[in-house]
Amino acid sequence: MFIQTESTPNPATLKFLPGQTVLEMGTADFPNPDGATASPLAERIFAVKGVTGVFFGTDFVTVTKDEATEWDHVKPPILGAIMEHFQSGQPVMASDATQTTGHAEHDGPDGEIVGQIKELLDTRVRPAVAQDGGDITFHGFERGVVYLHMQGACAGCPSSTLTLKMGIENLLRHYIPEVVEVRPVAV
């Protein structure tokens, strides 16, 4: 098994590509070890000293490390954990665990606008941020402000504010005049 690695715009995060499907659909975000019991793979990765976050996409695993840890020291054991997991035949997620398809439900009066926002996120934004090892999902819409949740490499990334304001906000404002601002939200 050969696992490729790619850097991301977030220097604390690396993207690991195992060359096979990680999740059939959706994503799974483990911003800390507390929820990792939902995934045997996430538990293995969190067992590596210095790992602070794990995120799964359809064909990648994104791992975030703490500031005190160097990639040279933590990358080999992470590669080993991913390889061991896939060779073990265990599932990535426990059978009772749920992955998210991403977007929060919205049952307010702006249903049509929210539908357009989600469509643009799904077709224009999410594929691009997945390339960088992350995900951005809809969290809410209120009085012209779109609230987005950043996951994986996007969470804590130094360039995420620029991505939100210059990229996503401009895109949404261009296509949906009702959008006046985009803000990040922590879940």
* pLDDT single digits (tens) 134-147: 888 888 898 899 99
Residue 30, burial from CB neighbour count under 10 angstroms (0-12, 13-18, 19+): buried
- Mean of pLDDT values over 55-61: 93
Query: By the 8 A CB rule, do 82 and 138 touch?
Result: no
- Report all structural domains of the chain as residue ranges with CATH numbers, in order of start: 4-88 (3.30.1370.70), 111-185 (3.30.300.130)
Cα separations in angstroms, 85 against 7, 18, 90:
22, 11, 7
- Mean of pLDDT values over 159-185: 86
Q: Judge whether residue 97 has pLDDT over 70.
A: no
Confidence of residue 22 (pLDDT cuts 50, 70, 90): very high
